[in-house]
Structure 1
Amino acid sequence: MLDAVALDDGVVVARYAWSRTAPTQAGEMRITTNGDRISRLVVTFDPPLNAEAGPILS
């Protein structure tokens, strides 16, 4: 994780990278908790930095 911010509605938004040595943001995780358990987890993926790379999956 690159950083995490707790929003007013209790959701934690965390930016993540695939590598510690190359900390380019790869996407975002939105985590909602219910007590000490995760009740909802949404993971997003940023588009590639190189527009010529194209989609990973077709």
Structure 2
Amino acid sequence: MRDDELLTVVEVMARLRLSRTTVYELIRTRRLASIRVGRARRIPVQSVRDFIAGELREAA
């Protein structure tokens, strides 16, 4: 997976095994960076990686 690849909310839901509501809450609280392309919301792969790394740091 390339660092500059953009994921849909559904793809992020599947990768993180989270609900749609939770993913949008992470976006709303800026814990998960995203961009809008027209009406579509896209999340960079690096943003998902950064989120996971941050969660792992907090858990340690």
Structure with the larger strand share: 1
Same structural fold, with TM-score higher than 0.5 when normalized by the shorter chain: no
**TM-score after normalising by structure 1:** 0.26
Higher share in helix: 2
Work out which of the two has the higher radius of gyration on C-alpha atoms and give 1 or 2. 1
Higher relative contact order (CA 8 A, sep 6+): 2
Tell me the TM-score normalized by structure 2.
0.25
